[in-house]
Amino acid sequence: DQQVKQNSPSLSVQEGRISILNCDYTNSMFDYFLWYKKYPAEGPTFLISISSIKDKNEDGRFTVFLNKSAKHLSLHIVPSQPGDSAVYFCAAASGGSYIPTFGRGTSLIVHP
C-alpha cells in the first residue's frame, strides 16, 4: 500500500508557465516532506523540503505547499524552464524514522 502517492506519472508545461506537481500521503506520522529532482543517468538531487509546522516554503522559483488536513503537498515551479525537465520525486518521513518513503515520481517536460 503506497503511503506516498504521485498520481500523475507525467506533466507537460510550456516554458514560462507554472508547473504544479502534486503528492498525497496517508501516514499522519509523517512530519518532513522533501522533493527531489532526477535527470537521466544521474542520481536524485535534493530540491526543497518542508516540515509539518509550516504550510509553505519557498526557494527561488520553487515553492512547496503543505495542506496537513488534506494530507497533500504540491511543488510549484514558476516560471518553468526547459532545464526543469526531469523526474520529480516526493518523499516523506517522520523525524524519528530512518526510512523516508518515496513516491513513484512525476516526469515533467517543459517545452520551449
Q: Report, in Å, the least distance between residue 84 CB and another protein.
A: 18
According to the binding rule CB under 8 A, does residue 31 interact with another protein? yes
Q: Whose Cβ is closer to another protein: residue 15's or residue 49's?
A: 49
H/E stretch holding 6: none
According to the binding rule CB under 8 A, does residue 110 interact with another protein? no
For residues 69 and 25, is the Cβ–Cβ distance under 8 A? Answer: no
According to the binding rule CB under 8 A, does residue 111 interact with another protein? no
Q: Report, in Å, the least distance between residue 77 CB and another protein.
A: 19
Q: Whose Cβ is closer to another protein: residue 14's or residue 26's?
A: 26
What span, in angstroms and rounded, lies between the C-alpha atoms of 26 and 11?
A: 23
Other beta carbons within 10 Å of 61: 14
What span, in angstroms and rounded, lies between the C-alpha atoms of 73 and 50?
A: 9
What span, in angstroms and rounded, lies between the C-alpha atoms of 105 and 36?
A: 9
Query: Which residue ranges make up the site for another protein (CB under 8 A)?
Result: 6, 9, 31-34, 36, 41-46, 49, 51, 89, 91, 93-100, 102-105
